[in-house]
Each structure stands twice: as structure tokens, then as C-alpha cells.
Chain A
Amino acid sequence: MAIDVRIPTILRSYTGGAKSVEASGDTLAALFADLDARYPGLRARLVTEDGSLHRFVNVYINDEDVRFIGAMDAKLSDGDTVTILPAVAGGAGPLTGQRR
């Protein structure tokens, strides 16, 4: 089972700079355990000591927030994409209006 995991910039020091890595697991908990075996120390940045997601870490399975679909027990299927992101303040945000 191959899951594509998108790594935020701040955590790429664990993945040798890779933006996305492959890992496996049939639940999010299993996936994180597999990730930690491949990239030691990564799991502790995402999960607290009691095994729940850190407050300011958001994780999505195919664009859906895992906290509403079972959290660490959320089910994964082959080909799923898992995205890890830091929580940011939303609402009336700035627009730069700048084109590169």
C-alpha cells in the first residue's frame, strides 16, 4: 500500500528536503509509525505524547481534515494523498496583488 505524503517546508529537514515521500499504513497512526521508521523524529513533531495530533498541526486525507474522519484511526487506501500543514489564521487575509 503506497500513500503519498506531502511534507510542509518546516519538516523537510527530516526528509532530506523532499516535498513529498511515500509511506504505508492502513490508518493514519500506522502511516505515522511507518514514516517515523523511515524518517526518525518526524512523528514526534506531529503527535503528542498521549498519541493525539498536535493542536497546530492539520492533516488531510485527500483534502479532508482527519479530525472529522477518525483522527489517528482514519482509514487509508492505496493511492491516497496525505497532506500535513501548519494551522494558520484565516479570514480576511491580505492579498499582495503582486505578480511574479
Chain B
Amino acid sequence: MRYESLLDACGDTPLVGLPRLAPEVPEGAPPVRLWAKLEDRNPTGSIKDRAALWMVRAAEEAGTLRPGDTILEPTSGNTGIALAMVAKRRGYRLVCVMPENVSAERTQLLRMYGAEIIFSPAAGGSNQAVATAKQLAKEHPDWKMLYQYGNEANARAHYETTGPELLRDLPTITHFVAGLGTTGTLMGVGRYLREKVEGIQIVAAEPRYGELVYGLRNLDEGYVPELYDSSVLTRRFSVGTRDAVRRTRQLLEVEGLFAGVSTGAVLHAALAVATEAVRQGRRADVAFVVADAGWKYLSTGAYSGTLDEAEEALEGQLWA
């Protein structure tokens, strides 16, 4: 496959069957199959390349983003890395707002791409990074915040690409399962598939972190991304650290697929709906998203030692 540039190689990722992980079906019963959409096969190694590219293009088309401009974004993870690549190729300066306790790998990678980093207090987590970025946007009116949590181009990237790719490769799809963060993937793919596939189930897997992450977070100052529309979803599962790590390891052991920890949480929900289909004797083609590979998470302790040790190492970390 040949592309004119790295940006052109975004999307059109493989959908692979996972016959060893799919639950066993009694003889004569309808098939229940499991499919993984390999989003780590994007230019910077995550599904966020789609959102970053679509958000930048939309801002360029609207005339709000011009060469030499500064992009501001609350992110310390995949969106930051994706935006850094797009910004570098298109000639923008990028400022990322991230909690001060972020890993060295991320900081290094972002700085290599030429991104600047402004730290927000660790205690506030990602809610605080969002708040800090909003404050900075007020102080620097010339900086352009793409704001992945509320930018409709984030969801549209998936409505226009991820959704159609899934339906093209799996016309018999019955369930779509993905992680719930900015909600862009679930909103975009969800809306597309709901229009095209009768009875499609749109299932969200939300990470449930260790207690330290929630800490003394005030219930009145919570945060729900502006993109989120609960009517697009059919169900929403909360998946704890232990189940996420267990499934991430199982994916590697049983199918040879090396994925990030958030994929483990998504797989946990996918297996729950697949197992339910078997129990009900229904046919199911369950497709789920592998948002990224495991490389960036090796230092977290998720992949070494016992499950107990991994769970303890991840306590206090946002692993998705």
C-alpha cells in the first residue's frame, strides 16, 4: 500500500478476527464472533490520529487556524502525540496542558515533536488539565484550542471513517464496543452504525480507576464531555483496573495481540456481551476497538509481575 505522505496513511486499519478468544458456542447454535479493529496501525500508533487530523482540517477549512498559529490542547496522551505530528507537518506550534505526574516517555516524545508542555496540578487529574487549558485560552486569545472533548470534528472523524470501515469489513456487525473518554469514537461510530444497521448495540467501556484517582473529587464539580450524548449508547460498563490488566494479558497470551491497558477494559465489555449472546442463543459479530499498542505503558507495571502487583502499580494512575 502506497501513500503520498504520512497523514494520508491515517485510518483504513485492519479488522482481525479473534477465534481463540471468542466464547465457545454449543453445536448447532448461531455463531458468536469477536473482531478487533487495530487502531494502533495509525501514523502515531493510536486511534487519536483520526480525531487530530479531522479537528485540524476542520479548523483550517473554517479559517480559524492559519500557518504559524499556536494550538492549545489539554492532553498528555495519544491526542497530544497525534496533534504534535499533525502540527509539525503543517507548521503549527503546539502547547499541551497535562498533569504534572505524567510519565517521562510521554514528555520526551511530545518534546521531540517540538510540542511545549504546561503542567497542571497532579491532584486534579485530567479534569484539572481541562480547566487549566480553558483558563489559558482566556489569557491567550490568539491561541487556538481544538478541545477534543467538545469538538464535533472529533466525532465526525469516526462517523466518516471508522464507522464506514467497520460496516464495509463486517456487514453482519451486531455490537460495537469502544472505550469511553472524550466519547468521540462512540458518538461518531455509534451514530453511523445506528443509521445503517437495525438493532445495532453500541457498548461503552469506561475505565474505573483505583481509589486514589477519584480521591476527594467533589461530586458537584464533576465533568462530562460536551460531545457525550447518552442516547447514542445502548449500554455502558465500568471496568476496573484488575479486569483491564487481566484481559490485556489474555489478549497477548491467547491471540498474540499486544495492546494498551484501555483495550483490556474494552475487551472485558466485548466478552461480556459476546457471552450473553451465547447464553441467549443469538448470532453475534462483536467488533471492538484496540485504541493503541502496549509500548507506552510498559513502565506502568501493567505487563510484569502478578495481577496483584500490576493492580497495585496502577493504583493512582489513569491508564486509559
Binding site for B on A (CB under 8 A): 8-11, 45-46, 54-58, 60, 63-65, 67-69, 83, 85-100
Q: Is the Cβ of A91 less than 8 Å from the Cβ of B217? A: no
Q: Is the Cβ of B217 less than 8 Å from the Cβ of A86? A: yes
Q: Is the Cβ of B219 less than 8 Å from the Cβ of A93? A: no
Q: Is B316 positioned at the interface, with any CB of A under 8 Å from its CB?
A: yes
Q: Is the Cβ of B48 less than 8 Å from the Cβ of A97? A: no
Q: Is the interface of B mostly helix, strand, loop or mixed?
A: mixed
**Which residues from chain B contact A95 at a C-beta distance below 8 Å?**
76-77, 102-103, 106, 296-297, 300, 317-319
A/B interface sample: 10 pairs, CB < 8 A: A10-B218, A56-B221, A60-B208, A63-B240, A89-B127, A90-B225, A92-B181, A92-B182, A96-B102, A98-B101
Interface size class of B (residues with CB under 8 A): 35 or more
Q: Is the Cβ of A91 less than 8 Å from the Cβ of B220? A: no
Q: Is the Cβ of B103 less than 8 Å from the Cβ of A97? A: yes
Closest to B261 in A: A95
Q: Is B303 positioned at the interface, with any CB of A under 8 Å from its CB?
A: no
Closest to A93 in B: B318
**Which residues from chain A contact B48 at a C-beta distance below 8 Å?**
92
User: A91 is contacted by which of B149, B233, B236 (Cβ under 8 Å)?
Assistant: B149
Q: A11-B219, A56-B221, A65-B236 known; A90 and B317 CB under 8 Å?
A: no
**Which residues from chain A contact B222 at a C-beta distance below 8 Å?**
55-57, 86-88
Report Cα–Cα, A57/B77, bound state, in Å: 25
Nearest CB in chain A: distance from B224 CB, A: 6
B248-259: CB near A (< 8 Å → 1, else 0) gives: 000000000000
Max chain B Cβ within 10 angstroms of own Cβ: one of A8, A57, A90: A90
Q: Is B229 positioned at the interface, with any CB of A under 8 Å from its CB?
A: no
Binding site for A on B (CB under 8 A): 48, 75-80, 98-99, 101-106, 122, 125-127, 129-130, 148-149, 179-183, 204, 206-209, 211, 213-225, 230, 233-240, 296-297, 299-301, 312-313, 315-320
**Which residues from chain B contact A45 at a C-beta distance below 8 Å?**
219
Q: Is the Cβ of A88 less than 8 Å from the Cβ of B127? A: yes
Nearest CB in chain B: distance from A98 CB, A: 7
Q: A63-B239, A85-B238, A89-B127 known; A94 and B318 CB under 8 Å?
A: yes
Nearest CB in chain A: distance from B51 CB, A: 9
**Which residues from chain B contact A98 at a C-beta distance below 8 Å?**
101, 316-317
User: B208 is contacted by which of A67, A68, A85, A99 (Cβ under 8 Å)?
Assistant: A85
Q: Is the Cβ of B206 less than 8 Å from the Cβ of A90? A: yes
Extra contacts besides A69-B235, A86-B214 (13): CB < 8 Å: A9-B214, A56-B224, A64-B237, A64-B238, A88-B223, A94-B103, A94-B106, A94-B125, A95-B319, A96-B122, A96-B300, A97-B102, A97-B105
Nearest CB in chain B: distance from A87 CB, A: 4
Nearest CB in chain A: distance from B218 CB, A: 6
Nearest CB in chain A: distance from B102 CB, A: 4
Report Cα–Cα, A39/B130, bound state, in Å: 34
Q: Is the Cβ of A96 less than 8 Å from the Cβ of B219? A: no
User: A89 is contacted by which of B80, B105, B149, B238 (Cβ under 8 Å)?
Assistant: B149
**Which residues from chain B contact A60 at a C-beta distance below 8 Å?**
208, 238
Q: Is the Cβ of A93 less than 8 Å from the Cβ of B77? A: yes
Report Cα–Cα, A93/B106, bound state, in Å: 11
**Which residues from chain A contact B122 at a C-beta distance below 8 Å?**
94, 96
Q: Is the Cβ of A89 less than 8 Å from the Cβ of B225? A: yes
User: A90 is contacted by which of B105, B180, B220, B230 (Cβ under 8 Å)?
Assistant: B180
